[in-house]
Structure 1
Amino acid sequence: MALFFQLDIPRGVEAFGGDHLLVFYCRVHNEVADPPSAGGRLVPRYWAAPQPSEPAPFWRILLQRHATLPTAEPDPSLVPLPLTLQAFEDTPNARGLGAQTSKVGGASSWAQFPEYYRCACGADLVYLCQVPEDMEFAVHPGQPEQPDGGGGPDTYGLFLGNEVYILACPDHCDPAAAWPVNQN
């Protein structure tokens, strides 16, 4: 798996302020996530549960509490770029949707309809951030082309280029207790 991005969650983001988010994704498996649930909750260790097309997830989302330092080395396959967060007024529209952009916190801007999940620990997952549709991540020359990447041989995408909403457990029951919702 490749480290696609990481960031420090601003202190003002409810439930996750001060945490450090890391998003890893497989360079050769480009699929959408299918939530494994039972009895109205995601299954225990849902972040490691098999996916319909794969024996295990092809992503990993980690939320480190009170992390002191980001990972020191960039992923060798992706071109590292600085990620700068800027405060902005995310005023929900009449349908309750926020701005459609990369963002952390604020109001989600569901492409289709809101999705809600309950963590295996019993807590309702909370919207943390989103990555817009067709976001491309530049790769170093000579890397294998990503299947169904859509951006060509010099970029990788996440979850078939769908809009990605990361929901996470506000109780922090496990550093991996997060779910990537994919919509287009």
Structure 2
Amino acid sequence: MALFFQLDIPLDLQHFGGDHLLVFRCRAHNDASEPRLADGRLMPRYWDAPEPPYPRPFWRVLIQRHVVLPAAEAEPSVCARPLTLHPLADTPNPHGLGSQTFKIGGAPSWAQNPEQYTCACGADLVYICQVPEGMQFAVHPGQPEQPYSVGADTYSLFLGNEVYLLACPGRCDPAAVWPVNQN
């Protein structure tokens, strides 16, 4: 799996302020994720569940507390770029939608209908982050082309769909994050 992005979550974000968010994705699989439910909740250990037709997930999102320094070894696939967060006046419009941009916190700008999920532990997942539709991640020269990607020199997340990361506020596992994909 390739590390697509990582960031420190701003301190003022409820439940996860001060934690570290990491988003990994298999560079060879560029598909959308589909929730698998059991009794109205995401299935137990949904972050490790198979993503048919694949025997295991092709993505991993982690929220770490007590972060240690990152490894000195650079990500070999996706080019590291600085990510600077700026405050955003994210006032929802009359339809309850926030700004359509890469953002942490605020109001999600759902491309379709809002989606809500319950973690296998019983906690309702909360919105953390949004990656806009069509966001491309530059790759190092010589990397294999990602299927269904826009170009040979970039990768995208979940077919380039709008991605909303929803996480378990109960912190039942560092990987208890669900990526909602919409277009």
- When normalised by structure 1's length, the TM-score is 0.97
Structure 1 stretches lacking a partner, 5+ long:
none
Partner of 1:39: 39
| Cα 1:121–1:128 shift into 2, 3 Å | same
Aligned to 2:180, the other structure's residue is in SS state strand
| Cα 1:71–1:181 shift into 2, 3 Å | farther
Aligned to 2:179, the other structure's residue is in SS state strand
Partner of 2:138: 138
Partner of 2:98: 98
Could you tell me how far 1:73 is from its partner in structure 2?
3.0
Could you tell me how far 1:65 is from its partner in structure 2?
1.4
Contact 1:6 1:70 in 2 (8 A): no
Could you tell me how far 1:97 is from its partner in structure 2?
0.6
Could you tell me how far 1:66 is from its partner in structure 2?
2.8
Could you tell me how far 1:76 is from its partner in structure 2?
0.8
Aligned to 1:142, the other structure's residue is in SS state coil
Could you tell me how far 1:72 is from its partner in structure 2?
3.7
Aligned to 1:160, the other structure's residue is in SS state helix
Contact 1:3 1:74 in 2 (8 A): no
Q: Give me the CA root mean square deviation.
A: 0.9
Q: Write out aligned runs for 1:18-97 (5 A).
A: 18-97=18-97
Q: Write out aligned runs for 1:119-138 (5 A).
A: 119-138=119-138
Report whether the alignment pairs 1:181 with 2:162.
no
Identity percentage of aligned residues: 69
- Alignment length (residue pairs): 183
1:112-132 per-position Cα deviation (integer Å, ceiling 9, x unaligned): 010000000000000000100
1:74-129 per-position Cα deviation (integer Å, ceiling 9, x unaligned): 31111110010001110000011100000000000000010000000000000000
- When normalised by structure 2's length, the TM-score is 0.98
Q: Measure, in 2, the Cα distance between the counterparts of 1:46 and 1:32.
A: 15
Aligned to 1:107, the other structure's residue is in SS state coil
Aligned to 2:159, the other structure's residue is in SS state helix
Q: Measure, in 1, the Cα distance between the counterparts of 2:7 and 2:146.
A: 24
1:39-63 per-position Cα deviation (integer Å, ceiling 9, x unaligned): 1101110001011221111000000
